A and B are shown apart, each in its own frame.
Chain A
Amino acid sequence: MALTGLVTELALVVIPMVLVTALVLVGPRQLSRAFSDFRWRLAAISVPLVILTLVLFVRVSTRDFLRELSQRVVGTHFTSSIVALEATVFETNPVVVVQSVQSEPLTSYFAFVYVYGYVFLLVFPLVAYFALSKMDELQTLIVAYTTNYAIGLALYTVFIAYGPRNHDPQRFEAILYDAFPQFGYLTHEVNEPTNVFPSLHTSLSMTVLFLAWQTRFIYPLWVPISAVISLSVVVSTMYLGIHWFSDVVVGTLLAAVCVSLGRAYVRRNVDDTLRGFLRRNVEQVRSSTDR
Chain B
Amino acid sequence: MDESAPSVTRRRLLGGVAGVGAGTLAGCSERLWTVAERSPHEQVSLTIKALPAEYDVMAATIAGHLETTLTAAGIDAGFEPIEESELYRQTLINADFDVFVVRHPGYDDPDALRGLLHSAFINERGWQNPFRFSDAEVDELLERQCESAGGRRRTAFGNLFSALGGVAPFTTVAFPDRLGAANEGSDLTRTPRSALEYYELLGSRWNTSAVENDANGEPNGRTLRVVLVDQTVGDRLNPIAVDVRDIRSLVGLLYDPLVRRTETGTVPWLAERVEWDEGDTLAATVTLREGLTWHDGLALEASDVVFTVGLLADTARGQAENEIPAPRYRERITTVDDVAVLDDRRVRFTFDECARPAAERVLTVPILPEHVWAERATVIDSHATEAVRWDNDEPVGSGLYAFAESGSEYVRLEPYDDHVLHDVDIDGHDGVFDGIELVEDIEFRVTPNIGSAIDALGDGEFDFLASYLTANQLESVEEADGTTALHSRSDAFYMVGYNLRHPELTLPQFRRVVSRLIDREFVASEFFDGYAQTPTTVGELLGFRPDSPWDLPAVAAGSLLEFPGTDGEVDEAAAHALFEEAGYHYDNGDLVA
- CB pairs A–B below 8 angstroms (18 shown): A85-B18, A88-B11, A91-B31, A167-B53, A167-B81, A168-B68, A168-B79, A170-B61, A171-B64, A177-B448, A177-B449, A177-B451, A181-B454, A181-B455, A184-B452, A185-B447, A187-B448, A192-B231
B60 near A89: Cβ-Cβ < 8 Å: no
12 new A-B pairs (CB below 8 Å) besides A89-B25, A193-B83? Answer: A79-B80, A84-B10, A84-B11, A85-B17, A162-B81, A166-B60, A169-B53, A177-B451, A180-B451, A181-B454, A184-B447, A193-B231
> Shortest distance in angstroms between A55's beta carbon and chain B's nearest beta carbon?
23
6 closest A-B pairs by beta carbon, nearest first, are A168-B64, A181-B451, A80-B78, A184-B448, A166-B52, A188-B448
B25 near A83: Cβ-Cβ < 8 Å: no
| Interface positions of A from 143 to 194, Cβ below 8 Å from B | 162, 165-171, 174, 177-178, 180-182, 184-185, 187-188, 192-194
Which A positions have Cβ atoms within 8 angstroms of B?
Answer: 2, 71, 77, 79-81, 83-85, 88-91, 162, 165-171, 174, 177-178, 180-182, 184-185, 187-188, 192-194
A172 to B39, CA, bound (A): 32
A88 near B14: Cβ-Cβ < 8 Å: yes
A178 near B451: Cβ-Cβ < 8 Å: yes
A85 to B441, CA, bound (A): 50
Residues of B within 8 A of A193 (CB): 52, 54, 83, 231
A30 to B60, CA, bound (A): 55
Q: CB within 8 A of B79: which of A89, A167, A177, A178?
A: A167
> Shortest distance in angstroms between B34's beta carbon and chain A's nearest beta carbon?
10
> Shortest distance in angstroms between B254's beta carbon and chain A's nearest beta carbon?
24
The reply to whether the CB of B574 lies closer than 8 angstroms to some CB of chain A is: no
B81 near A81: Cβ-Cβ < 8 Å: no
A236 to B487, CA, bound (A): 36
Residues of A within 8 A of B79 (CB): 79-80, 83, 167-168
A165 near B22: Cβ-Cβ < 8 Å: no
Q: Interface 1/0s, chain B 421-463, versus A by CB < 8 A?
A: 0000000000000000000000000011111101110000000
A182 near B14: Cβ-Cβ < 8 Å: no
Q: CB within 8 A of A168: which of B15, B28, B67?
A: B67
The reply to whether the CB of B509 lies closer than 8 angstroms to some CB of chain A is: no
The reply to whether the CB of B527 lies closer than 8 angstroms to some CB of chain A is: yes
B10 near A165: Cβ-Cβ < 8 Å: no
B57 near A169: Cβ-Cβ < 8 Å: yes
The answer to whether A90 and B10 touch (CB under 8 A), given A166-B60, A184-B448, is no
Chain A residue with Cβ nearest B96 = A77
Of A85, A89, A166, A169, chain B has the most CB atoms within 10 Å of the CB of A89
The answer to whether A169 and B14 touch (CB under 8 A), given A83-B79, A181-B450, is no
Q: Interface 1/0s, chain B 1-30, versus A by CB < 8 A?
A: 000000000110011011000100100100
